[in-house]
């Protein structure tokens, strides 16, 4: 790649190598020949790469960001130790060996692979901040105790049954656990997370929110849609909560909302709610609540013509959106 001679060239979008579906690649073809040796970021997408060493990445001594999404890589090897970001989303990787030497890595994405066990991350404790392991075959949260700088952990769509092994992640701000098999938040599973502001645990097997009080001082966003909740206690302890999604549960009554004075969005669609009086009791005094979703509840199905106006009167004048409908000022 030629060095840019103008500001316009310097601002040009990052080049990507992408193979047209069905196109054959010669075995000797080097996909990265067009990159300058001083390149700091390389993207090689959907190119049927099977072998990382064959890319000869040692040619790029300044390489910091490497994206090899949607290839056929089965082993992590041949990577430069200069990397700060590594994206191997949608490959065929079964093990996390080959990561330990990347001691400057800040972001690692191994989503949509075949990983069963979280391993080989101990050496990344001084740098790793973002870890994505979506849609693998992981059944336990383990071997994360050294990742003391981790701020975001994404483990959605795995086979996890229990929240564990997080107590030393003092910098963790976001925890994504949707589409697993988790049945409980209790037992101190969320204890020791003093900066957690977002918890997503949608599409699991929760029947209670017991244990959520462990993060009451910091939590701002809670996503627990598509579980089996019948009660919202002890939700009232989450004084900083701004976004709450309790859609598609088994809630017959709206409770424990009235003390959430910072709540801005309430998503409660597809439950068993029948009472506009409960909406008024819980929501009328919430000063910044401007978005609510109650569609799919009996109160909406049984009152199709008056439903929206009743919700507006129940919530108060600050409401700006009811379901997908933006209200006129």
Q: Give the tens place of pLDDT for each residue, 172-189.
A: 999 999 999 999 999 999
Helix (H, G, I), strand (E, B) or coil at 173: coil
For the segment 111-140, the average pLDDT, to the nearest whole number, is 98
Q: Considering the domain boundaries, does residue 147 fall inside one?
A: yes
Q: Considering the domain boundaries, does residue 315 fall inside one?
A: no
In CATH, what number is assigned to the domain containing residue 132? 3.80.10.10
Query: Which pLDDT value is given to residue 24?
Result: 41
Strands 321-322 and 325-326: antiparallel
Number of domains in the chain: 1
CA distance 201 to 162: 11
Helix (H, G, I), strand (E, B) or coil at 21: coil
Q: Considering the domain boundaries, does residue 176 fall inside one?
A: no
Query: Which pLDDT value is given to residue 35?
Result: 93
At 146, is the pLDDT very low, low, confident or very high (cuts 50, 70, 90)? very high
Q: Considering the domain boundaries, does residue 270 fall inside one?
A: no
Dihedral of CA 211/213/219/224: which sign? positive
| CA distance readout (Å), 286 to 240, 278, 280, 320 | 12, 13, 10, 13
The answer to whether the beta carbons of residues 235 and 212 sit under 8 Å apart is: yes
Beta-carbon contacts of residue 20 (< 8 Å; ≥ 6 apart):
none
Query: For 57-73, how does the pLDDT look when each residue is reduced to its tens digit (9 = 90+)?
Result: 999 999 999 999 999 99
Rg for the chain (alpha carbons), in Å?
24
Query: Which pLDDT value is given to residue 326?
Result: 97
The answer to whether the beta carbons of residues 166 and 175 sit under 8 Å apart is: yes
Domain that holds residue 56: 38-159
Query: For 192-243, how does the pLDDT look when each residue is reduced to its tens digit (9 = 90+)?
Result: 999 999 999 999 999 999 999 999 999 999 999 999 999 999 999 999 999 9
Mean pLDDT estimate for the chain: 93
Kindly state the helix (H) or strand (E) to which residue 176 belongs, with its residue range. Answer: strand 174-176
At 26, is the pLDDT very low, low, confident or very high (cuts 50, 70, 90)? very low
Kindly state the helix (H) or strand (E) to which residue 276 belongs, with its residue range. Answer: helix 276-283
For the segment 32-38, the average pLDDT, to the nearest whole number, is 93
Q: Considering the domain boundaries, does residue 82 fall inside one?
A: yes
For the segment 144-153, the average pLDDT, to the nearest whole number, is 98
Query: Which pLDDT value is given to residue 30?
Result: 82
Question: 143: cis peptide before it, omega within 30°?
Answer: no
Q: Considering the domain boundaries, does residue 268 fall inside one?
A: no
Token representation of residue 5: 């001679």
Query: For 254-271, how does the pLDDT look when each residue is reduced to its tens digit (9 = 90+)?
Result: 999 999 999 999 999 999
Among residues of the chain, what percentage have pLDDT more than 90?
90
The answer to whether the beta carbons of residues 261 and 281 sit under 8 Å apart is: no
CA distance 234 to 220: 15
Query: Which pLDDT value is given to residue 328?
Result: 87
CA distance 185 to 187: 7
Q: Is the pLDDT of residue 18 over 70?
A: no
At 29, is the pLDDT very low, low, confident or very high (cuts 50, 70, 90)? very low
Q: Is the pLDDT of residue 114 over 80?
A: yes
| CA distance readout (Å), 267 to 118, 138, 247, 307 | 33, 29, 6, 16
Q: Considering the domain boundaries, does residue 83 fall inside one?
A: yes
Token representation of residue 323: 């379901």
Q: Considering the domain boundaries, does residue 309 fall inside one?
A: no
Q: Is the pLDDT of residue 11 over 50?
A: no
Token representation of residue 92: 């065929």
Token representation of residue 17: 């190598």
């Amino acid at each position: 790649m030629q060095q840019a001679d103008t500001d316009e060239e310097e601002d040009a979008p990052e080049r990507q190598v992408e193979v047209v579906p069905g196109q054959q690649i010669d075995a000797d073809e080097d996909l990265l020949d067009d990159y300058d040796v001083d390149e700091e970021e390389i993207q090689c997408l959907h190119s049927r790469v099977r072998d990382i060493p064959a890319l000869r990445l040692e040619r790029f001594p300044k390489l910091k960001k490497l994206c090899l999404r949607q290839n056929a890589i089965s082993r992590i090897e041949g990577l430069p130790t200069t990397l700060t970001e590594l994206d191997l989303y949608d490959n065929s990787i079964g093990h996390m060996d080959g990561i330990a030497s990347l001691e400057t890595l800040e972001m690692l994405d191994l989503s949509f692979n075949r990983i069963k066990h979280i391993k080989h991350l101990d050496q990344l404790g001084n740098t790793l901040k973002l870890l994505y392991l979506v849609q693998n075959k992981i059944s336990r949260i383990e071997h994360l105790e050294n990742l003391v700088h981790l701020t975001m952990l994404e483990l959605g769509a795995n086979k996890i049954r229990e929240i564990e092994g997080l107590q030393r992640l003092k910098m963790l701000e976001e925890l994504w656990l949707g589409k697993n098999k988790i049945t409980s938040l209790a037992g101190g599973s969320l204890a020791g997370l003093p900066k957690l502001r977002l918890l997503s645990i949608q599409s699991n097997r929760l029947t209670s929110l017991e244990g959520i009080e462990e993060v009451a001082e910091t939590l701002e966003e809670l996503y627990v849609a598509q579980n089996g909740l019948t009660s919202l206690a002890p939700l009232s302890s989450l004084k900083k909560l701004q976004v709450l999604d309790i859609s598609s549960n088994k809630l017959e009554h709206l409770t424990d909302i009235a003390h959430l004075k910072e709540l801005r969005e309430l998503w409660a669609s597809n439950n068993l709610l029948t009472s506009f009086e409960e909406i008024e009791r819980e929501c009328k005094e919430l000063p910044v609540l401007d978005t609510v979703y109650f569609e799919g509840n009996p109160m909406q199905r049984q009152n199709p013509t008056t439903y929206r106006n009743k919700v507006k009167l129940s919530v108060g004048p600050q409401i700006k959106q009811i379901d997908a409908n933006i209200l006129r000022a």
